[in-house]
Amino acid sequence: MDFAHIIHAIQLDRASSSLTAAAVRQRGAAVESHDSVDAFLRAYRGQSGCVLLDIDAAGEDGPTMLEQLASRAMLLPVIVLSHDPGVSQTVRLMQAGAAAVLEKPVDGSELDAALDRALRRDEEQREIRERREELVGRFGALTEGEREVLERLIAGKANKNIAADLQMGLRTVELRRAKILKKTGAKSLAELVRLAMIAHPDWLHHPPQT
């Protein structure tokens, strides 16, 4: 059976596992249990969902475990479970990327709310990544000459100035600009710049060099 989401439970104790199983069933999702972060990373195949990470069982530093996940490009939201995490520990965990920090024994309603937020966040992030991949492909289809014009459009230069920079006719610049808009799906210069920033955020401060 294919599930819309998979909740990856790492090092959960029996009580947390039982509560998680009940919460997951009502969402039509599935639970996959892992004995360690390393075991999860070996098994993960890009499925949608989120991670429930119990940081008590491993005896390791929670933020370090989150950094280990992030360093492996693990993009799922992570809900951390811990006995009495304290304010400073909670802040550190959130700064390290935790989507939520829940104190054990976990309250069922708090777990439900955290799961809902994490799964919604995962869906939103996947949509953003898919959109960006699509735009990267569109901008990647531009010719070298079109990229030269694009670079200068992003920098805010007018057509006549671009023509002077590239030592070409104004009509050529206009034609290349029209092709750029068509290939990228942009309806205006403002939308073109916005799409370019989604595809390549670094262009905002470091425009493409040709």
- Cα separation, 130 vs 123, whole angstroms: 11
Encode pLDDT of 1-12 as tens digits: 445 788 999 988
Check if the beta carbon of residue 63 is closer than 8 Å to that of residue 96: yes
Parts of the chain belonging to CATH 1.10.10.10: 141-204
pLDDT given at position 147: 93
- The pair of structure tokens assigned to 105 is 């024994």
| CA nearest to 160, candidates 150, 151, 171 | 171
- Please state, rounded to an integer, the average pLDDT across all residues of the chain: 87
**pTM, to two decimals:** 0.72
DSSP string, 58-83: TTS-HHHHHHHHHHTT--S-EEEEEE
Between 22 and 2, residue with greater pLDDT = 22
- The pair of structure tokens assigned to 113 is 């709310």
For residue 188, the Cα-to-chain-centroid distance in whole angstroms is 27
Packed helices 170-184 and 189-199: angle between N→C axes, nearest 10 degrees: 60
- Cα separation, 71 vs 159, whole angstroms: 43
Parts of the chain belonging to CATH 3.40.50.2300: 6-128
Encode pLDDT of 38-63 as tens digits: 899 888 888 889 999 998 876 667 77
Give the model's confidence band at 204: pLDDT under 50 very low, under 70 low, under 90 confident, else very high.
low
Check if the beta carbon of residue 9 is closer than 8 Å to that of residue 52: yes
- Cα separation, 21 vs 198, whole angstroms: 38
Question: Does the pLDDT value for residue 129 go beyond 90?
Answer: no
Q: What percent of the chain has pLDDT over 90?
A: 47
Listed in sequence order, the residues at least 6 apart from 201 whose beta carbon sits closer than 8 Å to its beta carbon are: none
For residue 15, the Cα-to-chain-centroid distance in whole angstroms is 31
Bridge partners, 82 (sequence order): 103
Looking at 3.40.50.1970, 1.10.3720.10, 1.10.10.10, 2.40.30.110, the CATH number of the domain 141-204 comes to 1.10.10.10
Torsion angle, alpha carbons of 193, 194, 195, 201, to 10? 90
pLDDT given at position 207: 57
CATH class of the structural domain 6-128: alpha beta
Question: Does the pLDDT value for residue 161 go beyond 90?
Answer: yes
Check if the beta carbon of residue 137 is closer than 8 Å to that of residue 130: no
**Section 31-37 average pLDDT:** 90
The residue assigned the tokens 């990373």 is: 41
Between 138 and 23, residue with greater pLDDT = 138
pLDDT given at position 1: 43
Check if the beta carbon of residue 186 is closer than 8 Å to that of residue 178: no
